[in-house]
Amino acid sequence: MSAAIDVASWALIIAGGAFCLIGAVGILRMPDFYTRVHAASVTDVVGSFAILLGLALQAGASLVTVKLLFIAALIFFTSPAATHALVKAALERGVEPKAAEAPSSR
């Protein structure tokens, strides 16, 4: 494996881990439910895909890469569906967004 691919894959894996951690901090620190959903998407999309792409670069062209692509496709399709269902269920159950006070129109 050439050194350039190696460096690129390590950079992707570490960047993906950093994005996962940032998303988790967001989920922990954000003030209300809907902003937490926003933070979770960072972990689900950028973190997952960066780590999986980095691992695929490590594996090279093989069955392992195909499996990694399957996992990526799975996350790609199920994560937005789950988030959509989650937010819709929360809205119907009356979870209110924590909005700022509306400015008085005087």
Residues that bind other proteins (CB under 8 A): 10, 13-14, 16-18, 20-21, 23-25, 27-28, 33, 36-37, 40, 43-44, 47-48, 51-52, 55, 58-59, 63-64, 67-68, 70-71, 74-75, 78-79, 81-83, 85-86, 89-90, 92-93, 95
* Minimum distance, C-beta of residue 100 to other proteins, in the bound complex (Å): 19
Cβ atoms 9, 55 nearer than 8 A: yes
* Minimum distance, C-beta of residue 103 to other proteins, in the bound complex (Å): 27
* Minimum distance, C-beta of residue 63 to other proteins, in the bound complex (Å): 8
The Cα 39–Cα 48 span in angstroms is 14
Beta-carbon contacts of 92 under 8 Å, excluding residues fewer than 6 positions away, are: none
> 1 or 89, CB closer to other proteins?
89
DSSP code of residue 95: P
* Minimum distance, C-beta of residue 98 to other proteins, in the bound complex (Å): 11
Cβ atoms 20, 62 nearer than 8 A: no
Neighbouring C-beta atoms of residue 12, cutoff 10 Å: 20
